[in-house]
Amino acid sequence: MKIINFAAVLLCAVLLCAALLSGCAGSAGLSAEEHSAVVFAMDTEMTLKAYGENGEDAINAARTEINLLDSLLRRGSADSEIYKVNADGSFEVSQATAYVTERALEICSFTGGAFDISIAPVMDLWGFYTKDFRVPDAAELGAALDRVNYNNISVNGLTVTASEGAELDLGGIAKGYLSSRIMEIYKEQGVISGIVSLGGNVQTLGTKPDGSKWNIAIQDPSDNSRYIGSVRLADCAVVTSGGYQRYFEEDGVRYHHIIDPKTGYPADAGVISVTIICEDGTLADGLSTALYVMGLDKGSEYWRAHGGFEAIFVDGNNRIYITDGLEGAFESSREFEVIRSE
Ligand code: AMP
Ligand code: MG
C-alpha cells in the first residue's frame, strides 16, 4: 500500500458541528428559508433540513417515509414485513422492502459475505435485539452460524424467501436506503438543497443554499465529544460504522454490534471506524459495515478493485487513512495518510 503523510489542516471540530447542525445557511442575499424536523425512528434521532419554498412539504413527506420504512423493516415488530419473512420463511412484501433486500444481497455478494443480511441469529444470541446482552459459548455460536448464509435469502418479484433457518436483519443498510429515499422525496417536492443526519448516516442534496459545499464532520470513534475532521462535498452520502456506536462490556471486554459472519464474534480486523462516501446512500451504508468487517488492508483492496466510493478508516491506534479521492475534500487538524489507488 503506498501511503503518504500529509500536513494537517487546522479545523475546529466544534465549529464544524455547528456548521452541520445549523445547515450553514449562508451568505448575504441568499435567503432560502430553512425547514427542519427531528424524528426518532429506527432507534435513532434523525435530523432533517430542507431549504426553500417547498421545504415544509418535503419535510412532511420525508417524515411519512421514515415512519413507513421503520414499520416495514423493523425486525422486532410483529407487524413488519421483515418479521413476517423471518417468521414464515417467505412473504410477499412491498416494493420498498423487495428493493432494499435486493440491493443488500448485491452488496453481500460483492463483499464476499463480509456484509451478510442473514446475520440475525448471531445478533440475537449476543442479545443485541433484546438488550439482554451476554457472551455466547462456541457451541451456541456454531449453531447460529450454520444459519448464516445470504445465499439462503432470495427475492423473486415481491416475494422474499429465507430458507435453511436464515433470518433477515437489514439494520446494516436500512438507514442508508432511507437517506437516499429522502433525497428523492426532496427532489420530487422541488427542493434543491437539503441535508439529513440519521445517526451515523448523513446525506446531502445539492449544495448549501449559498452555493458552497456542505462540511460534514466525522465523529472521533475514541471520543464522542470530538471529530477527526470533516469532508466538504455536495450531493453525497457520508456513512460511518463504528464499534463505539452500540456495544456492551463484560469482564472488561467490549463487544460491539458489527459481527464478522465468518466467526460470529464482533469484527476485529483492526479498525474502530469506517466512513464511506458516495452518492448512493444505500451502497454507502452496506459498504461501511462490510469494510468495517474487512479492516484496512482488505477494505483498501476492495476499494481498489471496485471503486465508485471513497473511504476513511480509523485504526486501533487512532491513525486516520483516507482514499485518494478525498484529498482536498478531507480536512483535519490531525495527521492522516492517503491510500493510493495504485
Ligand atoms: P452499521 O451501523 O451500518 O454498520 O450496521 C450495523 C448493524 O447491521 C447491526 O446492528 C446489525 O443489525 C447489522 N449487522 C451486524 N453485522 C453485520 C454484517 N456483517 N453484515 C450485515 N449486517 C450486519
Ligand atoms: Mg452500514
Q: Is 119 in the pocket of ligand 1 (CB under 6 A)?
A: yes
Please tell me the distance from the alpha carbon of residue 276 to that of residue 337, in angstroms, as a whole number.
16
**Nearest CA owner, ligand 1 atom 22:** 172
- Put the strands of the sheet holding 159-162 in their side by side order: 90-92, 159-162, 153-156
Q: Give the Cα separation of 140 and 267 in Å (integer).
A: 18
Cα(163) to ligand 2 centroid in Å equals 24
| pLDDT band with cut points at 50, 70 and 90 for residue 31 | low
Q: Show Cβ contacts of residue 72 under 8 Å, excluding neighbours closer than 6 positions.
A: 80, 81, 82, 93, 94, 96, 97
Q: Which ligand is nearest to the CA of 241?
A: 1
Q: Whose CA is nearest to atom 4 of ligand 1?
A: 289
Pocket of ligand 1 contains residue 35 by CB under 6 Å: no
CA 50 to chain centre: 21
Q: How far is CA 230 from the centre of its chain?
A: 17
Minimal CA–CA distance to 21: which of 34, 32, 10, 9?
34
C-alpha 314 chain-centroid distance: 16
- Tell the residue number behind the cell numbers 414485513, with chain if given: 81
- Indicate if ligand 1 lies below 6 Å from the C-beta of 300: no
**Nearest CA-CA partner of 233 in 323, 314, 327:** 327
CA angle 101, 298, 323 (to 5 degrees): 90
Q: Is the pTM of this model over 0.85?
A: yes
Q: How far apart are CA 275 and CA 314, in angstroms?
A: 9
Instruction: Note whether 224 and 270 are within 8 A (CB).
Output: no
- The finding on whether 176 has its CB within 6 A of some atom of ligand 1 is no
Is the Cβ atom of 266 under 6 angstroms away from ligand 1? no
Q: Is the CB of 117 under 6 A from ligand 1?
A: yes
Closest atom of ligand 1 to CA, residue 115: 20
pLDDT at 129: 94
Q: Is the pLDDT of residue 15 over 60?
A: no
User: Separation of 287 CA from ligand 2 center, angstroms?
Assistant: 6
pLDDT 10s digits, 149-199: 999 999 999 999 999 999 999 999 999 999 999 999 999 999 999 999 998
Alpha-carbon distance 301 to 121, whole Å?
29
Statement: residue 148 has pLDDT above 60? yes
Determine contact, residues 237/176, Cβ cutoff 8 Å: yes
What ligand has the least distance to the C-alpha of 258? 1
Query: What pLDDT sits at residue 308?
Result: 97
Residue with grid cell 432470495, as numbered in its chain: 154
Q: Which residues pair with 31 in a beta bridge?
A: none
Indicate if ligand 1 lies below 6 Å from the C-beta of 259: yes
The DSSP result for 3-30, as a single string, is EEEE------HHHHHHHHHHTT--STT-
pLDDT digits (tens, 9 = 90+) for 97-131: 999 999 999 999 999 999 999 999 999 999 999 99
CA distances from 231 to 1, 24, 68 (A): 23, 14, 31
167 CB near ligand 1 (under 6 Å): no
Note the ligand closest to the C-alpha atom of 124. 1
- 230 within ligand 1 shell (Cβ under 6 A): no
Q: How confident is the model at residue 312 (pLDDT cuts 50, 70, 90)?
A: very high
| 285 alpha carbon, closest ligand | 2
> Which range is least confidently modeled, 199-203, 247-251, 286-290, 335-339?
199-203
Question: Percentage of residues in the chain with pLDDT exceeding 70?
Answer: 91
